[in-house]
Amino acid sequence: MIKEQIRDRIFKELIDENVIDLFQRNMMPINELMSYYRCAIMEVETKFKVLNEQFSLQYDRNPIETIKTRLKSPEGIVKKIKRKDLSFSLQSIEENINDIAGIRVICSFPEDIYLLAECLLKQDDITLIEVKDYIKNPKESGYRSLHLIIEVPIFLENEKKNMKVEVQLRTIAMDFWASLEHKLRYKKDIPQEEAELLAKELVECANISADLDNRMEQIRNRIAKNK
Ligand code: 0O2
């Protein structure tokens, strides 16, 4: 039943025999792999919750506003396989797609992002694979966030398995901008010229939002100094 549902969904999206084959032949291993990624998400989420708790005790403040987690959908995985021109195999998925397990940590202030990233990366079971600092180097769209690709071990019945997780750290303002921009990006029926003007407007909004983040942080620091 699940097999048929997945096949129908993929059919609607992509109508690609290779893809249907991959999922049909590997249903059990795919479920197993996805379950490992879910475990990895749990491990990393717990690490951030522990850090938040400790900061709350030690400094009487919570650096984390919200944590969101997501497992990449089969459609998302297939799109990425195609975009990166990868082979349709489980091994290739595991080796080349780094964001199947995703965790988004929304912080109050920009400084908290780097503080949390440092605390996470100091932990001796975490291996850093890649850093993409879209705060220091925003994307052309205006997008800002700190992305970390890490490896975390999960402990199964008879083995330890290292799983990749993408951690996106951003402020409330960065998240607000990214969420709205993501929704607007899918409005396709806009004339080219207008689309270019809107893209510029979105970059401007991202800059204003970054400025606001910095000013709020300065206010926080001035208050802390006066204490
Ligand atoms: P979802 O569902 O959000 O995860 P890679 O091949 O993996 O190294 P990739 O996929 O281009 O390269 O990675 P990148 O650009 O570093 O990060 C991709 C993710 O960052 C996106 O995930 C978004 O979550 C976010 N992102 C990157 N650029 C933008 C942007 O301009 N606007 C918004 N709103 N989000 C952005 P996905 O793949 O879109 O899916």
Rounded to 5°, angle at Cα 79 from 163 and 10: 105
Residues contacting 64, CB < 8 A, separation 6+: 48, 49, 51, 52, 105, 106, 107, 108, 112, 116
Per-residue pLDDT of the chain (227 residues; tens, 9 = 90+): 566 666 556 555 554 666 666 666 666 688 899 999 999 999 999 999 999 999 988 878 899 999 999 999 988 998 999 899 988 788 889 999 999 999 999 999 999 999 999 999 999 999 999 999 999 999 999 999 999 999 999 999 999 999 999 999 999 999 999 999 998 887 778 888 888 899 999 999 999 999 999 999 999 999 988 87
From the candidates 43, 94, 118, 166, which is the catalytic residue?
Answer: 166
What residue spans define the domains of the chain?
A: 4-172
Protein residue with its CA nearest to atom 18 in ligand 1: 99
Task: Identify any residues that bridge with 150 across adjacent strands, giving them in sequence order.
Answer: 128, 165
Q: Which helix (H) or strand (E) holds 12?
A: helix 2-13
> By CB neighbour count within 10 A (0-12 exposed, 13-18 middle, 19+ buried), where does 119 fall?
middle
The predicted structure's pLDDT at residue 7: 56
169 close to 145: Cβ distance less than 8 angstroms: yes
The predicted structure's pLDDT at residue 103: 98
CA of 95 to the centre of ligand 1 (A): 18
Pick the CATH number of 4-172 from 3.30.460.10, 3.30.1320.10, 3.30.1360.200, 3.40.50.300: 3.30.460.10
The predicted structure's pLDDT at residue 164: 98
CA of 180 to the centre of ligand 1 (A): 14
Could you give the C-alpha distances from 167 to 5, 123, 135, 199, 226, in angstroms and in order?
30, 15, 14, 26, 34
CA of 56 to the centre of ligand 1 (A): 31
Known catalytic membership, residue 166:
yes
CA of 22 to the centre of ligand 1 (A): 24
This prediction has a pTM of 0.88
Protein residue with its CA nearest to atom 28 in ligand 1: 143
Mutate to test the pocket of ligand 1, among 143, 177, 200 (most ligand atoms within 8 A of CB): 143
Q: What are phi and psi of 148, to 5 degrees?
A: -125, 130
> By CB neighbour count within 10 A (0-12 exposed, 13-18 middle, 19+ buried), where does 8 fall?
exposed
CA of 174 to the centre of ligand 1 (A): 14
Mutate to test the pocket of ligand 1, among 77, 95, 99, 209 (most ligand atoms within 8 A of CB): 99
CA distance 113 to 185: 26
Which residues have CB under 6 Å of ligand 1? 76, 98-99, 102, 132, 139, 141, 143, 147, 178, 181-182
